Homo-oligomer: A and B are copies of this chain.
């Protein structure tokens, strides 16, 4: 649980599964900058931090479809395992890009799982091409 929370809040943790190019000042109110070279970028404002329980971000800049969406990572304990519930809510329209992102998120989250279990994630630019 601590490891997952670390991966969601620490700059080195985030760099291990989403993108290697990340600047993550700590604390609520901070804006985390995720960069994906020519693939784009996004800025996430940290709205809420409940250690080992909940992380919430608001996308304040990036792809136009993402701006204003809220991202949440909820951690639960289940039979000794940590369950991570992720959601990106507030899409204005159900666009093709949303479907793309949904599948792409799964690849990053599986990388996050691997990272937290002692393996490696698949952060950009080592991310999985979903075509």
Contacts and interface: CB of A to CB of B under 8 A. Distances in A.
Nearest to A85: B99
Contacts of A130: 110, 113
Nearest to A82: B131
Given A102-B102, A106-B102, A106-B103, A113 B131 contact: yes
A85 B113 CA distance: 25
Number of copies: 2
A110 B107 contact: yes
Contacts of A128: 110
B81 A99 contact: no
Nearest to A94: B87
Given A83-B131, A103-B110, A113-B130, 6 more contacts: A85-B99, A87-B99, A102-B102, A106-B107, A107-B110, A113-B131
